Amino acid sequence: MSEIGCTVKVLNPMQENYEYELTEDEGKNFGDGFNPYFTPKEMLSMGVFEGKYLNSCEDEYPSHWFESAILSDMPDPSLNHFALKSRQPLSVWRHKGWIMEDDPRGWFEWYCRYYRGRRHSGMDQTQIKRWRNFSRHAGQVKANCEPGDLWCRPRQRQALLQWAHNPFI
């Protein structure tokens, strides 16, 4: 079922009076060179961000995304797919200028909204470029790990998963 033309009103503690329009079908018509390996639903079910990311804004996203999601009221590194801490606090992201105003939770929030069908001129190209640049971590895993050794560089693998890249290379 297409939601093109729908306006999503965001109601969560991190963002007030924000709304966006869905202009593409969910999971379709991505920008050139943007081919994420996982959907947001898959990422949430595999264990990302210590189970604490979209907890206060589930109503914004399709309920089926959360059917198998691994969530927690408190950050818990054991809930990550690779069962370790692999994120910096949001305060670090803000300090480094990596947070854009319309997506105060960062890259994954942008990706979830983009995947749903929101397009945002200017910001989409920036975030897609960041996603492409993150693939350098896959190169480091390939260069330093034996094929099939999933516990070689687990922090980089968890980070790859959290950026919708394949950590199982």
Residue ranges covered by each domain of the chain = 7-26+36-134
Q: How far apart are CA 34 and CA 24, in angstroms?
A: 15
Helix (H) or strand (E) holding 16: strand 15-21
Q: How far apart are CA 52 and CA 74, in angstroms?
A: 6
Q: How far apart are CA 104 and CA 32, in angstroms?
A: 25
Single pTM value for the model: 0.93
With beta carbons less than 8 A apart as the criterion, state whether 50 and 140 touch: no
Q: pLDDT 10s digit of each residue in the chain, 169 long? A: 458 999 999 988 889 899 999 999 999 999 999 999 999 999 999 999 999 888 888 999 999 999 999 999 999 999 999 999 977 777 887 888 877 889 998 999 999 999 999 999 889 999 999 999 999 999 999 999 999 899 999 999 999 999 999 999 9
